[in-house]
Amino acid sequence: MRRWVYFSLVPVLGALFWWGMQRDPGELKSVLVGKPAPDFELSLLPPYRAEWGERFRLSEHRGKPVVLNFWASWCYPACYEEAPILEAGWRRFRDRVLFFGVNTQDREADALEFIAQFNLTFPHGYDPRGKVGIDYGMYGVPETFFIDAEGRVRYRHAGAITAAELEKRIREVLP
Amino acid sequence: MSPGVAGNLALVLGFVLTGTGLLLSVLAWWAKDARYVEAAKRAAVVSFLASLLAFAALEWALLTDDFSIAYTAENHSTKSPTWVKFATLWAALEGSILLWATLQALYTLLAARRLRDVWMAPAVLGTLFGVQLFFFGVLLFVTNPFTPVPNPPTEGPGPNPLLQNHWMMAVHPVLMYLGFVGISVPFAYAVAAMLARRYQSWVAETRWWTLVAFGFLTAGIFAGGWWSYEVLGWGGYWAWDPVENASFIPWLLLAGFLHTAMVQERRGMFKSWNFTYITLAFAATVFGTFLTRSGVIQSVHAFADGPVGPVFLGFLLLVLLVGFGLLSRVSAEVRDLGGISLLSREGLLLGGSLVFATMAFVVVLGTLFPLIVEAVRGDEVSVGAPFFDTVFAPLGAALLLLMGAAPLLPWGRVDPFAARALSFMLSALALFTALSLFLGAGFGVALGVGLFAYNLVAVVAQGARGVGAWRRKGEGYLAALLRYLARARRPVGAQIVHFGVALAALAIVFSQAYRVDAQKTLEIGERAVVAGLPLTLRRLEARDEGFRFAVVAEVEVSGAGRMYPRLHYYPTMNSPLAAPHVRYGIYHDDYLILQAFDTEEGRWATLRMVRTPMVLWLWVAGGIILFGVFYIVSPGFARAARGSEVTA
Amino acid sequence: MRLLWPLVFFAFAFAQTPTGEPPPDLPPEVFRIASELRCPVCQGESAAESNAGVSQEMRRQIAEMLRQGKSAEEIKRYFVERYGEWILYAPPKRGINWLLWLAPLIGLLVFGFGFWRYLAEAGRREAELELSDEELKALERRLEGE
């Protein structure tokens, strides 16, 4: 009997580790999923003030799904990979979905350079301390949260997002 | 000839020669012909030379800044100092596997030189060649450092900056691997013993090897702790992270094995238990590499390092399968007999072994627990220092209790001397625990002090017993002492090790309980008391050191000189690495970290002061433990070099 | 010991606090609480050890909450609400986590039981081999007779 206990340990361990290696690191559950998105107010980076005002408050934008992206200029290459994808997504869905970028723990000058480099047209707030990131339970930049029209978090993606993933998750939060 | 070509040639050669060695060993086993064994031993020599050649080829590439192979292109920089260039060989995955293969070939060679038992020799060699073949195979087919780069760059990123930050990092991995690989020898003997059905004698035959592996592993762990302390910049030496745990598991299993092996040696008992121990200890070395390379456990931000994870997983499962297969045979065939009373040396040795096994179980479960919970429930949990510290405290206390008493008791019984010594020890325990409590210590610290006193009395009592035996033969005090020290290498060495462990435990208890950590921002010229120490920030200075950029703060400690904590900026890292200034002290260390500084005008700096008691004694304890192990194994080195039978 | 971590995760890399203002002054209590919390962007480092931007912000928030008179438990709960229990380095004692907390006891009991079974059997086998006085005398007589 005891022998079978030993032997069964081998496939059990093997299966556990194999499963462990197959996990998708981008699929991180967030405790926020299904809960109201934490509200925040940030000052906007200068290029967006003309259109969006001095400050941005999330709760003032209910009624439209929000794609909330956390990024930083020092996050290379992931943030650099996804920036054009996000911009393309914004241009495609801008009448139905609001995109908002939270520049996290960055220097303002570096952030502006990044924005200019990718010609990002959706609004970006400036959060040098990363306080909003902590409120969202962020693991590390980049991370993207999908918030539905009622203001609930529906999905969190960790790491650089792909165009297909972005579209799929946007369709999920669209009414 | 270029390093890449030479290296690949050497790897192919090593692979083929190792395979030949394995084949010859198998032939020797089937044909029962000792001539094949002799041929296999020669294969061990030449395959070691091949591994040395591959090692030399990689060093050649590194030292001559040859970027035409993948390893240098990815991990090397012309700007590194020469010692960093040399140590870059084991700074990244491919190179460290090459180091592993080279050391494995070395151990195979050394083990082959001393094989006398014709029945077991083919199986011992076969197992070692099998392990060696795995590493050569991985090097050749999975993580080949000599993979040619089509368009060689002229400069590379250099090795991990954490490595360059302290010379210890050149030493620590080598010690660690010497320990890991060392376990393969007793493992091979165990496998051979099971195959040849010689269940009893292998534990005595491999004792020397086991102790050597144990010594290197201990040295590697202490070196790693010391490196952590000096480099990671938070004033700690052990964080219970999966990588550290991976090195601790084989150590615990080996320690447990050493103790039940004594019971087998003396009483012929626990044969299948010992076989399990050494199999798991060896499997744990593979497990550790799997764990750190597969991304399976580092949770969220881990990405697999290519196919290395699955390959090591396969090898791990193979080792376990072979081990359990043989185990089921042993447990079916071996019928140990004998009674053991709990109050005897063997009784307490078993108790110690039980605690070691439990500790290993706790570390394995704690390390894997996040994975298990995620698989079962989909939740994410973390298991770290606060958990391990809590559960290891009572286990450690139990171990310290057993450790003092076991060597004092004779085999099979309690004698009046041991009973008297035990009563002294327990009195010391009670007295010093009570005294510490009276002086205001917490219970944990008080118990730590009491257990240290208990073990101190134990060491003295054991010495008194050993010297007394020679005194009764008519020797003077000094002569009796010298004879005891010279003749009783094993008990004396064990006593030294045990004393070192007791001291280490005391240091850990104090450093955990009374550590103070505080952070303060000072303007240039400003003075403030940080963590009880009056500090004045004198100046900030930036230095270009070629391969890195350093910012140095000059801090005056009132009445105690100046300290120079630094921040290092490496080109490949976007955040600076702190290089703390550590001032070791008999009572406590002052550990000053430059946390941040005014990058615009250099007007302020943020300092973090960590004051931890007794850390110095932890390193002293490590030295004492190593000296004890060395005391036992040292007579064997000359014999091992000559290739004759070694015993310890 | 952390050499083995492959430092290739630029995606999750971190920077020194980029703002011009200095980090806050922190009393020892902050580090004590932070050491029980995980640094979210790091591998195997607590918020007390790591110098990642997030950890610095966590320490700052801990200091602020302490100044507001919050207890260590309340502070930990604040982070659990945001990160889940994953942020705690000692999992709370309930549900499946008991398996972990009781691991030392489980280990001692299981291995201890194994030892006890083994010893009972080995002792029985030895007893079976032992001869009674009469058997011994009979054997001695036979030997002498031969």
Rounded mean pLDDT of B580-591? 93
Query: Do B269 and B178 have their domain in common?
Result: yes
Tell me what the pLDDT averaged over chain B comes to. 91
The residue-averaged pLDDT of B135-151 equals 93
- Of B222-226, C6-10, C42-46, the one with minimum mean pLDDT is C6-10
* Whether C19 and C72 share a structural domain: yes
- Note whether B181 and B330 are same-domain residues: yes
CATH number at residue C27: 1.10.8.640
Per-residue confidence at B501, pLDDT binned at 50, 70, 90? very high
Give residue B359's pLDDT band: very low, low, confident or very high (50, 70, 90): very high
**CB-neighbour burial class of residue B354 (10 A; exposed 0-12, middle 13-18, buried 19+):** buried
Residue B638 confidence (pLDDT): 66
Q: Residues B173, B96: contact at Cβ < 8 Å?
A: yes
Q: Closest residue of A to B379, CA-based?
A: A29
Residue B242 at interface with chain C, using a CB cutoff of 8 Å: yes
Q: Does residue B474 surpass a pLDDT of 80? A: yes
Task: Identify whether the C-beta of residue C57 lies closer than 8 Å to the C-beta of residue C18.
Answer: no
Contact B324 A6 (CB under 8 A): yes
* Higher pLDDT, residue B213 or B299: B213
Q: Summarize pLDDT for B361-417 with one digit per residue, the tens.
A: 999 999 999 999 988 888 888 999 999 999 999 999 999 999 999 999 999 888 999
B383 touches chain C (CB under 8 A): yes
Which residue type, as a one-letter code, is found at position A103? N
- pLDDT for residue B301: 41
At B146 the pLDDT is 95
Structural domains in chain B (count)? 4
Average pLDDT over residues A86-99: 95
Q: What is the pLDDT of residue A76?
A: 80
Tell whether C18 and C87 lie within a shared domain: yes
In the predicted structure, residue C132 carries a pLDDT above the cut 80: no
pLDDT at position A113:
94
Average pLDDT over residues B351-369: 96
Angle at CA of residue B456, ends B588 and B615, nearest 5°? 20
Mean pLDDT, residues B299-327 taken together:
80
Pair B112, B251 in one domain: no
- For domain A27-173, the CATH superfamily is Glutaredoxin (3.40.30.10)
Distance of CA A107 to the CA centre of its chain: 20
> Cβ contacts (< 8 Å) between B301 and chain A: which residues?
25, 139-140
Within this chain, do residues C77 and C46 fall inside the same structural domain, yes or no? yes
Mean pLDDT of all residues in B306-325: 91
Assess whether B301 and B415 both reside in one domain.
Answer: no
Q: Per DSSP, what are the bridge partners of residue A43?
A: A55, A126
Give the model's confidence band at B506: pLDDT under 50 very low, under 70 low, under 90 confident, else very high: very high
* DSSP reduced 3-state for A148: coil
Give the residue, C23 or B144, on which the prediction is more confident. Answer: B144
- pLDDT for residue B314: 94
- Using the Cβ of C47 and the Cβ atoms of chain A, whether some distance falls under 8 Å is answered with no
Does B293 lie in the same domain as B203? yes
User: Are C63 and C126 in a shared domain?
Assistant: no
Contact A140 C14 (CB under 8 A): yes
In a domain, C123, yes or no: yes
Query: Mind listing the pLDDT tens digit for each residue in A121-149?
Result: 999 999 988 899 999 998 888 999 999 99
Q: Which of C17, C72, A25, A16 is nearest to B369 (CA)?
A: A16
Does residue B1 belong to the interface with chain A, where contact is any CB pair within 8 Å? no
**What distance in Å separates residue C138's CA from the closest CA in chain A?**
41
CATH code: domain of residue B532: 2.60.98
Q: Assess if residue B648 is contained within a domain.
A: no
Please tell me whether residues B268 and B222 are part of one structural domain.
yes
Together in a domain, C79 and C128 = no
- Closest CA of chain B from A137, distance in Å: 13
Asked whether residue A49 carries a pLDDT value surpassing 90, the answer given is yes
pLDDT tens track for B239-260: 898 888 999 999 999 999 999 9
**For residues C72 and A128, what is the distance between their CA atoms, to the nearest angstrom?**
26
Structural domain of B397: 391-514+624-633
pLDDT, position A27: 62
Residue B646 predicted with pLDDT over 90: no
**Is the confidence at residue B106, as pLDDT, over 50?**
yes
Residue C112 located in a structural domain? yes
Query: Does residue B250 sit in helix, strand or coil?
Result: helix
Closest CA to C58 of C69, C46, C44, C67: C46
Are B51 and B143 contained in the same domain? yes
Separation in Å, CA A88 to CA A103, A117, A119, A163, B110: 19, 14, 11, 9, 64
**pLDDT confidence of residue B167:** 82
- How many percent of chain A have pLDDT more than 70? 96
What's the pLDDT score for residue B606? Answer: 93
* Model pLDDT, residue B291: 85
C82 and C122 co-located in one domain: no
Whether C143 is covered by a domain: the verdict is yes
Query: Is there a single domain that holds both residue B526 and residue B553?
Result: yes
CB of C28 within 8 Å of a chain A CB? The answer is: no
Sheet strands (E) in B66-206: none
A98 CB contacts (<8 Å, ≥6 apart)? A61, A64, A65, A66, A67, A122
Alpha carbon distances (Å) from B420 to B423, B441, B461: 5, 29, 9
B372 touches chain A (CB under 8 A): yes
| Residue C143, burial from CB neighbour count under 10 angstroms (0-12, 13-18, 19+) | exposed
Chains that touch B (3 or more CB pairs under 8 A): A, C
Residue B641 has a pLDDT of 57
pLDDT at residue number B437? 97
What integer is the mean pLDDT of B490-509?
96
Tokens of B473: 């033969």
Return the partners of chain A (3 or more C-beta pairs < 8 Å): B, C
User: Cα separation of B20 and B39, whole Å?
Assistant: 9
From C17, which residue of chain B is nearest by alpha-carbon distance? Answer: B596
Segment C58-77 shows an average pLDDT of 95
Is B166 part of a structural domain of the chain?
Answer: no
Does residue A45 register a pLDDT over 80? yes
Q: Length of chain A, please?
A: 175
Which residue in B516, B582, B576, B522 sits closest to B551, CA to CA? B576
C19 and C85 belong to one structural domain: yes
pLDDT digits (tens, 9 = 90+) for C3-19: 322 232 332 333 344 55
What local confidence, expressed as pLDDT, does residue B302 receive?
43
Residue B593 pLDDT exceeds 70: yes
Q: Looking at the structure, tell me whether residues B420 and B326 fall in a common domain.
A: no
> For residues B358 and B360, what is the distance between their CA atoms, to the nearest angstrom?
5
Domain ranges within chain A, ordered by starting residue? 27-173
- Report yes or no: B239 and B245 within 8 Å, Cβ to Cβ: no
Q: What is the pLDDT of residue C18?
A: 52
Binary contact (A137, C40; C-beta < 8 A): yes
pLDDT at B295 over 80: no
Residue C48 located in a structural domain: yes
- For B17-54, write each residue's pLDDT tens digit: 999 999 999 999 999 888 999 999 999 999 999 999 99
Question: What CA–CA distances, in Å, run from B295 to A148, B132, B313, C46?
Answer: 33, 24, 12, 19
- Tell me if chain A has a CB within 8 Å of the CB of B380: yes
- Tell me: do B372 and B433 sit in the same domain: no
Q: Is B524 on the interface with C (CB under 8 A)?
A: no
Determine whether the interchain pair B382/C88 forms a contact, defined as Cβ–Cβ distance below 8 Å: yes
Domain check: are B118 and B184 in the same one? no
Q: In this complex, is the C-beta atom of C121 within 8 Å of any C-beta atom belonging to chain A? A: no
Cβ-based neighbour number of residue B300 at 10 Å: 18
Whether residue B645 has pLDDT greater than 60: no
Is residue B164 a part of any domain in this protein? no
d(CA C2, CA C45): 10
Which of B280, B297, B333, B371 to probe the A interface (max A CBs under 10 A)?
B371
Residue C41 C-alpha, separation from nearest chain B C-alpha, in angstroms: 8
Q: Which positions in chain A touch B246 (Cβ < 8 Å)?
A: none
Tens digit of each residue's pLDDT (9 = 90 or more) over B28-38: 999 988 899 99
pLDDT band at B230 (very low <50, low <70, confident <90, very high): confident
Q: Does C60 touch chain A (CB under 8 A)?
A: yes
pLDDT of residue B294: 76
- Given this model, what pLDDT does residue C6 score? 29
Residues B133 and B112 in one domain: yes
Counting as contact any 3 or more CB pairs under 8 A, the partners of C are A, B
The pLDDT value given to residue B300: 40
Q: Which residue of B has its CA nearest to A142?
A: B301
**pLDDT at position B282 over 90:** yes
Q: Coil, strand, or helix at residue B590?
A: strand
Task: Verify that C26 and C87 share a domain, yes or no.
Answer: yes
Q: Is residue C6 part of a domain?
A: no
Which residue among C25, C106, C115 places its CB closest to the CB of B521? C25
- In a domain, residue B486? The reply is yes
Please give the residue range of the domain that contains residue C138: 102-146
d(CA A140, CA A70): 8
In contact, B498 and B459? CB cutoff 8 Å: yes
Q: Determine the Cα–Cα distance for residues B298 and B309; give it in Å rounded to an integer.
A: 13
Does one domain contain both C123 and C79?
no
Domains in chain C: how many in total? 2
| pLDDT at position B542 over 80 | yes
Helix axes B207-231, B168-182, angle to 10 degrees: 150
Q: Which of A63-77, B127-141, B258-272, B283-297 has the lowest mean pLDDT?
A: B283-297
What's the rounded Cα separation, in Å, for the pair B119 and B532? Answer: 67
* B180, amino acid identity: F
The answer to whether residues B410 and B418 touch, using CB atoms and an 8 Å cutoff, is yes
Q: Which of A99-113, B227-241, B357-371 has the lowest mean pLDDT?
A: B227-241
